[in-house]
Amino acid sequence: MTESYPSVPSPATAPAPTRRTALRAAGGGALLLGMGLAGCRSAVSDTGSASKGGAGKPRRGGTLDFAVDTDFTPSLLFAQSRQSFQQRLLYNTLTRYDDRLTPHPELATSWEYPADGRSITLKLRTGVTFHDGRPFTADDVIFAVKNLQNPARAAQLRATAAAVTGFEKRGDHELTLKLAHRVNNLFDLFEFMIIADRNTVEDAVKGTRLNGTGPFKLAKWSPGTGLSLTRNDAYWQPDRPYLDAVEFRVVSQGDAIVSSLRTGQTHLTYQVPGRNLASIAHDPGLTVTEYATGAGAIYLGVNTTVAPLDDKTVRQALAHAVDRDRILKQSLGGYGLASAAPWPKSSPAYTEARRTHYPHDPAKARELLKSAGHSRLKLPLLHISLPGDTAVAESLQYDLKQAGVDVTLQPTDPATAQKKLISQTMPALWTMSHGFAQVQPATLAVSAYPFNEAKNTSKFHSAEYTRVVREAWTSPATGAAAGRLRGAVSDILLDEAFIIDLVIAGNVQTASKKLHGVTLNKFSYLNLDDAYLDA
C-alpha cells in the first residue's frame, strides 16, 4: 500500500465536532487522562477555522491565554499524561489522524506500507529546522523511535516502538523502518511520538530546554504557574502560526477557571468541571463544543494482589455497585457516556451490549460479595485532589458503601498519582482516567498502564489475556477476524474486572468567541497552526 500527499498538507481535514446545542457557554472535560490522555479526537473547533475562513480573515498577532488544571511535568514529556496539550505546539509528529483514523502528513509527507506490515518507508519533509536552527533529518526519526524504546521515558507506546528493529536511510529525508512483526497501530505511534532534538533531550526532561520543530518556542517554564511560548518565525508551514504567543496558566480550581473565562483572562480551556456548566450556559462571550470521541474514560482501578480483590467475583461486585449514570450527571454535567467498557462510540470496538454489561445493581453486588464470603469490606481509594476527580471519588464512596464496601478517600496530587500508576504502587482501589481507547483498539491493551497485558497497574496477569491481546495487535486491523479479536479482548476486560470503566468523559472545549481555528489530535496535543484571535 502506498499513500502520497502534497509536501504541504491542507490544514484540517477532520469534520466539525458535534454539539449538544449551539450553546453560548463554557464547559470542560475536567477529567483528562490520569495515565494517558486523554485526549482522543482530531476535529475543528466550532469557534471557527482559519483554514475555512472562520468568522473572518485570520488576524496575525495576539497572545492566547490557555487555562490548565495541572502543571507541565517534564519528566513525563514522552508519556501521555494529564497535561500533554503543549506537545504539538513545541514539537511535530510524523503523521496525524482524522476522525476516521486515516493518517495524514506532518513531518512525513508520504509512505509506502507493504501488505505484510513488516516495514514502512517514509519520505520526510525537507526545509524543516529545530528551534536552534539545526535541520530535521532521518536521524531525528531514528532517535525518536529509540528514545521511546528507552524504559526511562515511561512511554505508553513503547511496545509498538520496540517492534521497530532496524532502520535503513536513503539520504537525509527517506527512511525505512523494519519491524519484527506486523503491528496494526503503527500510525498511533507516529501521531503519539513527538520529534525532539536528540542533542538536548536530557535538558528537555528537566524542563530547561524544549527544542522542537513546532510552531512555538519555549520562552519560560515557571513551575507551578505554567509555560510561556513565543512564535517560531522559522516554522516550516508558511505564514503560520498567526498567534505571537501562548500562555499556559495553571488554574487548579474549577470556580477560578470559570471566573477567568468570564473576565476574558482565559481564551481556551478543556477543564471546566461538569458541575459548572449550567451556571455559565448563557454567557454571550463563550462557546462550548463537545467532541464526539470523548476525553478518555474515568475508571475504578483494582489492585488484584490485595485480598479479597484477587477474587474476580469481588471485583464484579464492585462493578455492579457503581451508579454510572449518576456519576455522568452529577460529576460531568451530563457530558459523556456511561459505560462499563472503555470504548467511545467512535471506536470500532464499541458495542451497546458491552457498554451496559454492568447495570447499577447494589443488591446484585451484595449477593456477589456474600457468595465470595464477605459481608463488609474496608478499603482505601486513591484519587487526584482536583474538584472533578474528587466529585467522582465521593460518588464511588457513596455507591460502594451501599453494597457493603467502606472506602477511605486518599487525595493525591496529579504528579504523584501518575508516578504511582506507572510504578504499580497503587493501593487497593484508585480512580483516575485513561486514554488509548480512541485510537486503534489494540493500543489500549498493549500501551495503557491500567490495561497493559505485559505489566499493568492492577498487577493482573492471564495467559489467555496475553494471547488474545497479542493476536489482536499483530493481526490486520479490519475484517471479521479483527472484530472477533476486539470482542474477545473486551469480554476478558469485563469478566476479569481488574479495571472497572465508569464513564467515557465528554471532551468539552470552552473558548472565547474571539478565538478561531483550534484543533486537537487524538492524544490531546493542541494544534494552533491556524488559530487566531479577533481584534
- pLDDT at res. 272: 86
CATH 3.90.76.10 residue window(s) in the chain = 2-207+507-533
In eight-state DSSP terms, residue 117 is -
What φ, ψ does residue 508 adopt, rounded to 5°? Answer: -115, 120
**Dihedral angle of Cα 475, 479, 481, 482, to the nearest 10 degrees:** 50
For residue 231, what is its C-alpha cell? 512564535
Pick the CATH number of 297-505 from 2.120.10.70, 3.90.1560.10, 3.10.20.30, 3.10.105.10: 3.10.105.10
- Asked if 183 contacts 476 with a C-beta cutoff of 8 angstroms, the reply is no
466 Cβ contact partners less than 8 Å away, ≥ 6 residues apart: 453, 454
- Rounded distance between C-alpha atoms, residue 441 and residue 456, angstroms: 17
- Rounded distance between C-alpha atoms, residue 78 and residue 194, angstroms: 8
Return the closest-CA partner of residue 263 out of 13, 530, 436, 65. 65
- pLDDT at res. 292: 67
Q: What is the DSSP string of 63-96?
A: EEEEEESS---GGGTTS--S--TTHHHH---SEE
189 Cβ contact partners less than 8 Å away, ≥ 6 residues apart: 148, 157, 160, 161, 183
CB burial string 313-347: b at 16+ within 10 A, e below:
ebbbbbbbbbbbeebbbbbbbebbbbbbbbbbebb
User: 71 pLDDT exceeds 50?
Assistant: yes
- Rounded distance between C-alpha atoms, residue 428 and residue 445, angstroms: 21
Q: What is the pTM of this model?
A: 0.83
What is the band of 41 on the pLDDT scale with cuts at 50, 70, 90? very low
User: 274 pLDDT exceeds 80?
Assistant: no
User: 48 pLDDT exceeds 70?
Assistant: no
- Rounded distance between C-alpha atoms, residue 219 and residue 201, angstroms: 17
- pLDDT at res. 53: 38
User: 131 pLDDT exceeds 70?
Assistant: yes
CATH 3.10.105.10 residue window(s) in the chain = 297-505
- Rounded distance between C-alpha atoms, residue 263 and residue 211, angstroms: 34
The mean of the pLDDT values for the chain is 87
What CATH homologous superfamily does 2-207+507-533 map to? Dipeptide-binding Protein; Domain 1 (3.90.76.10)
Reported as a single tens digit per residue, the pLDDT across 81-128 is 767 899 999 999 999 998 888 999 999 999 999 999 999 999 999 999
Mean pLDDT, residues 247-252 taken together: 93
What is the band of 22 on the pLDDT scale with cuts at 50, 70, 90? very low
- Between the alpha carbon of residue 152 and those of residues 148, 315, 461, the distances in Å are 9, 32, 23
What is the pairing mode between strands 103-105 and 63-68? unpaired
Reported as a single tens digit per residue, the pLDDT across 442-496 is 999 998 889 999 999 999 999 999 999 999 999 988 889 999 999 999 999 999 9
